[in-house]
Structure 1
Amino acid sequence: MIHLGAFLNAGAQGTAGWRHPDAAPGFLTAAHYVRIAQVLEQGLFDFAFVPDALAVPRSLGGSFDPAVKWGSGTPRLDPVPVISLMAAVTTRLGVAATVSTGYHEPYNVARQFATIDHLTGGRSGWNVVTSFQDAEAQNFGRPKLPPRPERYARAEEFLEVTTRLWDSWADDAIVADKVSGVFGRPEAVTAIDHDGERFRVQGPLSVPRPPQGYPVIIQAGASESGRDFAARWADVIFCSHESLASAIAFYIDVKSRAAAHGRDPDQLKILPAATPVIGRDVHDALARHEAFADLVSVEAGLSRLAYHVNVDLTAFDPDGPLPPLEEVGVEGHYREVVEFAERERLTVAQIGRWYGARTEGSLIGSASDIADTIEQWVDAGAADGFVIQATHVPAAFEDFVATVVPELQRRGRFRTAYEGDTLRENLGLKRPGQGEWKARRA
């Protein structure tokens, strides 16, 4: 069976999505996210997840002007209240928020997600990121983003501490015996007494063990460090690919790494990003995509790309090819760009226009065409499903739920009802036993 997640900004939709004639304008209102959550649950999606960044990007020309002018990477609401709102109006939809290990503390994050997991009955997920912009570092008293090895070393210890905190209460620690007056079993609650290189945390957590054991861990690392980190810690990998071949290679690599770390590869779900453009037929869909692409200016697209790769692209000739970049923010997006730009022989300016309206996953066509591609990728061993990104909201999600979901159901490839109550149950993931963190750490 195919799994589906949804990716949505808590803010303006990309560089052009907010300009779409059918885009709803209320991205700063509660009703906006309520509607999206209800649509996704109607479509039986596994989860919705909200990205985040802790800065207004300054990557293009050293200024935040392009990001503000074109809506590329800003504004962004805090994703945790947004997913809490979405969870309150649904009963089965999983909700996941992005929180960086770079600028938070393990105790706060463990407490935050344990709370959400309890209040949702086990539907929470944490998208773990290490951050990728210098502008974020500069909002937290640091001149520059730390090197990738340092960021991942911090993330490793961060995950060890948070999982140990979730495990600091046994599942049966609370007895709440009104007759005896005993509320909890002290012997079933333990301090963690972590004294590491980056964190010193005594514990125990002030919140009992989450219903899911651990909230579902989502990760999107595409670098060597990111892949190995995800193979140990992640339950879901969110990735992005420009071709079926690169997706298959990534799938094989990460699943093999998970097995090498002693994990069941089936307990790691790989869900590439896909941005569907649905038409009556492929010609109608291509026309819709062209109309969408026409909404993107070159500077808007370059602003979005500069934000993702953390490189000032104004240093390069707009009419020449993109030179190799040694250090980038989001390596997966950079690899996509290189693969596509080399194949199509694009200039920097042409890359900007393409990147501002790129539709990952090649899902352009009729509902039947899109279902064909989804099946092709899953059956070829490139994916366990997809994270659907909308060109505009909520209408693009509504179209997908109304057309593609029924087509996948008709083919017997997608659920007709939720299998369980928790996000782990619906993803087919086992509940981690107490102490599983020991097997996952480096």
Structure 2
Amino acid sequence: MAANPFHLAWFLQGSSIQAWGSPWTGNISEEWGTASMFLDLVRNMERAGFDYILIEDSIYIGQNWKDSRQMFLENGMSVPRQEPSVVASIMAAATTRLGIVPTLSTFAYAPYLTARIVGTLDQISSGRGGWNMVTGSSDLSAMNFGADRLPDHDKRYDMAEEYIQICKQLWGSWEPGAIVADRKSGILIDHTKVHTIDFEGEYYRCRGPLNSGPLPQGQPVIAQAGGSVKGKTFAARYADTIVAAPRGIPAMKAYRDDIRSQMTAMGRDPNSCKTLFLVTPIVAETMDEANWRAEQRAVWASNNVDRCLAQLGWSTNIDFSGHDLDAPVGELTTNGHQSSLAQFVTKAGKKTLREAIIAHASGGYSTELVGTPDVVAGQMAEAMEEVGGDGFLINLPDVSRRSIATICDGLVPALQQRGLVRTKYAHEQLRDNLLEF
């Protein structure tokens, strides 16, 4: 292992019909419900030594284009989506070392239920469970749970403070050694080591204790995508791993430095949390093919401006269908994903909306990675050297067995040969593997 190894994880955009309509995707539109491709994905990831898979989620069908679901349904845009905790369970059963991190929204699940689901996942995976904590971004999702709209952005994080405190206290409601399993006395559980939490806050109340028992990790790994000012502070306080997508090496470094500074000010060891940057590598056998694929991505975006804007609107809660494509982007506000919108507006500069969305959709998130396996491995090494760590989250728009192979059988071996990522797991549990380096 090199002096400065880094971590790898996979950002799976929902357990939906990935890459439908693209070549080399098999019969995904007929087989997606069985999750067989996603099980192939996690088996390949584990063979390649990834730290974890994060299963992104949403609990609504997009309607942020001409106030209609047509665009989203016809093109399979973030739909259909299955319950991530169920998919996480079968992923855990198909692996032995890979961390499994489903997304559960604070507005959609009661705190006790989240604590129980994630705690159970940690148990059945022998300490590989995690929780991607999100507060929600779309009013459409709120309507599915009987509300007219989501609370304001900053209030959602105020509520999440109480929510996560309940979860952490519930996970801690069983002391170590509570299960004694003493066959001589006939006592299974020492009742003096299981406690109520009696949490009473402004937004939530919970009595406890958790009835599903203690967790192998004690506390599961918490992932969080802190992009807004409020979100970054929340992530600095609670996250064990952070999903980050600032655009460009300087922004990546500034983000990580800021998070680590906040952690230090809070009394946390900044090395206890791993910031992983979203990337969309284009890996091919030759540079010509890789460059061609990158060009094709830009061509596709140019020919599908409406779809690209609809997808941005899906996450930002904005319907762009009435906006002038050839006018400057200007100022935009949202109660949805503020960091996603802020990054789009910042990168747009003086571009027109058309130019900005083409650049946005054809880009590679944090940093551009295009080339042969060895070239991309070198690009990743250089990025980590400048940023300081901690690793990358692979986010492919066309998840298929073919594209998975370009990463697990192409890119990862090149990284391993440079000593940049692990060749085998040193530990059985997720947190231990995150803290290995």
Query: TM-score range with shorter-chain normalisation?
Result: over 0.9
Kindly indicate whether the alpha-carbon contact (under 8 Å) linking 1:13 and 1:392 is maintained by their aligned counterparts in 2: no
- 1 CA distance for matches of 2:158 and 2:436? 26
Q: In the alignment, is the contact (CA less than 8 A) between 1:272 and 1:383 conserved in 2?
A: no
- After TM superposition, the structure 1 = structure 2 runs for residues 252-401 of structure 1, keeping only pairs within 5 Å, are 252-296=257-301, 297-342=304-349, 345-360=350-365, 361-381=367-387, 383-393=389-399, 394-401=401-408
* Partners of 1:140 and 1:42 in 2: CA distance: 39
Q: Structure 1 residues 153, 429: CA separation in 2 closer, same or farther (over 3 Å shift)?
A: farther
Residues 26-425 of structure 1 aligned to structure 2 (within 5 Å): 26-296=31-301, 297-342=304-349, 345-360=350-365, 361-381=367-387, 383-393=389-399, 394-425=401-432
Select the residue among 22, 27, 32 that pairs with 2:24.
22
For the residue of structure 2 that corresponds to 1:416, the secondary structure is coil
**Could you tell me how far apart the structure 2 residues matched to 1:265 and 1:428 are?**
11
Identity of aligned residues (%): 34
In structure 1, what is the Cα distance between the partners aligned to 2:335 and 2:325?
Answer: 19
- Give distance in 2, aligned partners of 1:27 and 1:262: 45
Segment drifting more, 416-425 vs 140-149: 140-149
Provide the rounded CA distance (Å) in 2 between the counterparts of 1:330 and 1:395: 31
Partner of 2:67: helix, strand, or coil?
coil
Give the deviation of 1:81 after TM superposition: 0.8
Give CA deviations for 1:283-309 in whole Å, capped at 9, x if unaligned. 321201223444451111111000121
Contact conserved, 2:16 with 2:82, CA < 8 A, in 1? Answer: no
Q: Which residue of 2 aligns with 1:3?
A: 7
Moved more, 353-362 or 197-206: 353-362
- How large is the Cα RMSD of the aligned pairs? 1.7
Contact 1:228 1:254 in 2 (8 A): yes
Deviates more, 1:2-11 or 1:49-58: 2-11
The CA distance in 1 between the partners of 2:240 and 2:83, in whole Å, is: 23
Show structure 1 runs of 4+ deviating over 4 A.
Answer: none
CA offset digits 1:316-352 (Å, max 9, x no partner): 101112121123522232233223322xx53223333
Query: For 1:19, what is the secondary structure of its paired residue?
Result: coil
* Offset from partner CA, 1:347-392 (integer Å, 9 cap, x none): 2233334444442221111112211121122111254000001232
Distance 1:281 1:322 in 2: 37
SS in 1 for 2:262: helix
Q: In the alignment, residue 402 of structure 2 is paired with which amino acid?
A: A
Alpha-carbon distance between aligned partners in 1 of 2:162 and 2:220, rounded to the nearest angstrom: 17
CA contact (8 A) 2:102 2:130 kept: yes
Contact 1:129–1:220 (Cα < 8 Å) also in 2? yes
* Displacement after TM superposition at 1:429 (Å): 7.0
Other structure's SS at 2:175 match: coil
1:238-285 deviation per Cα after TM superposition (whole angstroms, max 9, x unaligned)? 011221111111111111111111000001100010111012343321
In the alignment, structure 2 segments of 5+ residues that lack a partner are none
Letter in 2 for 1:374: M
Distance 1:365 1:230 in 2: 33
Q: Any idea what SS the aligned residue of 2:80 has?
A: coil
Post-superposition CA distance 1:88-142 (Å, at most 9, x none): 1111111110001112111111011111101000001100000001111111122
Question: The residue matched to 1:28 in structure 2 has which SS?
Answer: helix
Q: 1:62 offset after TM fit, Å?
A: 1.9
TM-score by length of 1: 0.92
Amino acid at match of 2:6: I
2:135, 2:157 within 8 Å by CA — same for their partners in 1? yes
Q: In 1, are the aligned partners of 2:195 and 2:208 still within 8 Å (CA)?
A: yes
Higher mean C-alpha displacement, 50-59 vs 376-385: 376-385
Check conservation: 1:247, 1:383, Cα contact below 8 A: no
Whether the 8 Å contact between 1:58 and 1:67 is mirrored in structure 2 is yes
C-alpha distance in structure 2 between counterparts of 1:399 and 1:30, whole Å: 20
Q: What is the identity, as a one-letter code, of the residue corresponding to 1:5?
A: A
2:295 and 2:148 mapped to 1: Cα distance?
41
**Is contact 1:56-1:67 (8 Å) kept?**
yes
Q: Report the AA paired with residue 212 of structure 1.
A: Q
How far has the Cα of 1:6 moved from its partner? 0.4
**Equivalent residue of 1:176, what SS?**
strand
TM-score, normalising length from structure 2?
Answer: 0.93
Which residue identity does 1:418 align to in structure 2? Answer: Y
